[in-house]
Amino acid sequence: MLKYCLILLIAIIPASAQTPEDIPEGVMIWTDGFYHDRQSVVTIWGHTTHMEPVTVLVLNPAGNIAAVDQTEAENGAFSVDLHISGPYWRHDGVYTVTARAGTDTTPYAIHIGIGEIDCNGTYLDAGNDGAYCIQTENVTELYLDKHNSTMEIRGGGQVVVSIPRDILDSKDEDKDRPFVVYQQDVVLTHQEMSNDTTRVIQFEHPGGTVTVLGTHVIPEFGAAMLVMAACGVAVVSYRYMSRHKILSSYDSCHV
């Protein structure tokens, strides 16, 4: 059975060093990626629509405060550098970074991985529902957009992504229908294999961001719990890959 890790956080947004196109009311923060080694300085960028100072709070995997900082925004933009040092940064794992402007705004949080992270694949950023460890090949970043039932994939070369059905699926009533894999307005040829619990896709990744479009995603969860588990769609031309070619390295997908 495919193993994946679920971490439920308060709120998570896509990691990017550039300002997102859609700025919501309140506070939004992001960074330049999920993984950070202990020799790096983690920069948190943000945007706020409020005039109050922004407080940035970091909790380590044990739930203790690793860092706290306060900054002023200029034209709505702000940034904070996190220096990974001190006794409260000694834990390897997932840290929660939360930002809040004043006392009347809703906090926004992202997660970052520090040190050695026990994930043999790639972490999927699943918004309010946390981060999942997904089995992949040649993938650097994954992001799930629940509103549009899509998964964004960054990587290069021959990419393989093993997608649990309870995270993202593509159905026509009770029957499987193929995912749509595309970059901007170009549909990419891909191959699929599936069983009762998993959809495996393979395609040649051209670089940048590739989007996988399905029909439904994981249901809403409460935002207070931290849980770790074991680690309109268009019809496009596709062909199934052989079981040996796709799943030879994914024995855990067999049922």
pLDDT (tens digit per residue) in 17-29: 444 555 567 888 8
pLDDT tens string 228-255: 222 322 222 233 333 334 344 444 443 4
Task: Choose the weakest-confidence range: 83-87, 165-169, 226-230, 248-252.
Answer: 226-230
Q: Do the beta carbons of residue 147 and residue 14 sit within 8 Å?
A: no
What's the rounded Cα separation, in Å, for the pair 212 and 241? 18
Domains defined for the chain, CATH in brackets: 11-114 (2.60.40.1930), 122-253 (no CATH)
Mean per-residue pLDDT, 91-105: 84
pLDDT value at position 56? 95
Q: What is the pLDDT of residue 79?
A: 94
What per-residue string of b and e applies to 136-165 under the rule 16 or more CB within 10 Å gives b? bbebebbbbbbeebbbbbbbeeebbbbbbb
**pLDDT at 226 (0 to 100):** 28
Q: Is 20 helix (H, G, I), strand (E, B) or coil?
A: coil
